[in-house]
Amino acid sequence: MRVVEHAPLQSFNTFHVAANARYLVTLESPDELTAFLADSRFSGLPLFVLGGGSNLLLTGDFAGVMLCPRFMGREVLSQEVERVRLRACAGESWDGFVDWAVAQGFAGLENLSCIPGHVGAAPVQNIGAYGVELQDVVERVEALDLSTGAAVSFTRDDCQFAYRDSVFKRNPGRYLITAVVFSLAGKFAPRLDYPGVPAALAAQQDEGPLSPARVRQAICAVRYGKLPDPAVLGNAGSFFKNPLVSQSLADSLKGEYASMPVYPAAAGLAKIPAAWLIEQCGFKGYRAGDAGVHEKHALVLVNYGQATGAELWALAEKIRLAVRQRFGVELEPEPNRL
Ligand code: EPU
């Protein structure tokens, strides 16, 4: 267990916002949890489990414990014609894991390529992109219950996955995810229906047979075409969830704005792209000091350099108000705010 007091967090969040944590505690193995729970320095303090910091907005110093699991390792548990089972520890880079799986020809993870963050954070918000969500490939999530220190295992149903949501997201600070077990169909069933993906495949030099590696390459090209690389420009991906609205509100908005995209959702509901609502309110490319809205994608807030978390949050509030006033739709922020 490594403990740093008054730890600077700028390099621990992909917005690159400057802030300190009272304690930054790194665990190299799940066995270290017992010592952590017994350490009186940490008792009674708020606790936040930090993965890659790619879904986090720090609006000030954190007067608690940032707990960083750095559990490493990935393995093939079983490989049969019909099914491949993989296990990855929480501290592994998500995209490093996807790359490793795809390089071995395993299919099912390729549409989730190039998403920043760690394996342990992926189930928390049920990461999803280009027609695939984490819940489609998860068999089991292994965790430690921080209220008791006991090891717990969640089946996919136990995880209560929903759009950008899970039992872990709804119980912040309760569980420390240690590893994820994946179950992939042995047969490659490419999902290429998302706009932009077929064109990116067609543009590839390599015209060999379609493979998970080629799909991964196409997905990365689509992502990098519109989403900024956090290593270059601070951001946390989508800042808002795509709102679910009643079908009747969607119908009446569609009557007024014929070009508005609407996606089907659960009975009686419809999903509207938040990016479209934000762009209509004139925020695409907007900038207030160093806090801004990405010029290529209206759903991504960016830090051009020295923006504080409070400034980024103020911009988010301004956007929410504008969308509420114009469309009567409530936008829900996606990143955790501390
Ligand atoms: N659009 C605009 N203006 C823009 C960008 C998009 O009007 O500036 C409209 C277009 O009509 C477009 C639609 O919004 O067709 C959807 O845009 P996009 O395909 O880029 O997807 P998204 O709904 O904005 C979601 C996820 C992304 C994920 C992509 C691809 C959420 C909150 N975001 O974005 O996830 O990569 O789909 O599947 O669901 C993330 O969570 O950080 C993230 C990047």
Boundary-marking domain end, from 226, 260, 293: 226
Residues 81 and 103 in one domain: yes
CA distance 2 to 244: 42
Atom of ligand 1 nearest to the CA of 297: 8
Atom of ligand 1 nearest to the CA of 334: 32
Residues 28 and 117 in one domain: no
Boundary-marking domain end, from 16, 36, 69: 69
Task: Please write the tens of the pLDDT for every residue from 157-197.
Answer: 999 999 999 999 999 999 999 999 999 999 999 999 999 99
Give the Å distance between the CA of 275 and the centre of ligand 1. 6
Protein residue closest via CA to atom 27 of ligand 1: 129
CATH of the domain at 28: 3.30.43.10
CATH of the domain at 120: 3.30.465.10
Q: 117, 129 in Cβ contact below 8 A?
A: no
Atom of ligand 1 nearest to the CA of 129: 38
Protein residue closest via CA to atom 29 of ligand 1: 129
Regions in the chain scoring below 70 on pLDDT = none
Give the Å distance between the CA of 240 and the centre of ligand 1. 10
Our answer on whether the CB atom of 197 is closer than 6 Å to any ligand 1 atom is: no
Q: Probe ligand 1: pick from 238, 242, 257, 296, max atoms within 8 Å of CB?
A: 238
Q: What pLDDT, on a 0 to 100 scale, did the predictor assign at position 237?
A: 97
Give the Å distance between the CA of 107 and the centre of ligand 1. 23
Q: What pLDDT, on a 0 to 100 scale, did the predictor assign at position 266?
A: 84
Boundary-marking domain end, from 69, 89, 124: 69
Q: What pLDDT, on a 0 to 100 scale, did the predictor assign at position 296?
A: 97
Residues 13 and 146 in one domain: no
- Which residue segment(s) compose the domain that 7 sits in? 2-69
Give the Å distance between the CA of 273 and the centre of ligand 1. 7
Q: Residue 95: what are its φ and ψ, rounded to 5°? A: -75, -30
DSSP 118-181: BGGGTTTTT-EETTEEGGGTEEEEEEEETTT--EEEEETTTTT-BTTB-HHHHSTTTEEEEEEE
Task: Please write the tens of the pLDDT for every residue from 50-104.
Answer: 999 999 999 999 999 999 999 999 999 999 999 999 999 999 999 999 999 999 9
Residues 238 and 222 in one domain: no
- Give the chain's domain count: 3
Pairing of strands 47-49, 2-8: unpaired
Question: From the CA atom positions of the chain, what is the Rg in Å?
Answer: 21
Q: What pLDDT, on a 0 to 100 scale, did the predictor assign at position 71?
A: 98
Atom of ligand 1 nearest to the CA of 238: 42
Give the Å distance between the CA of 260 and the centre of ligand 1. 14
Q: What pLDDT, on a 0 to 100 scale, did the predictor assign at position 264?
A: 87
**What amino acid positions are annotated as catalytic residues?**
164, 238, 334
Residues 79 and 222 in one domain: yes
Protein residue closest via CA to atom 40 of ligand 1: 238
Q: At what angle do helices 212-226 and 94-103 cross, to 10 degrees?
A: 150
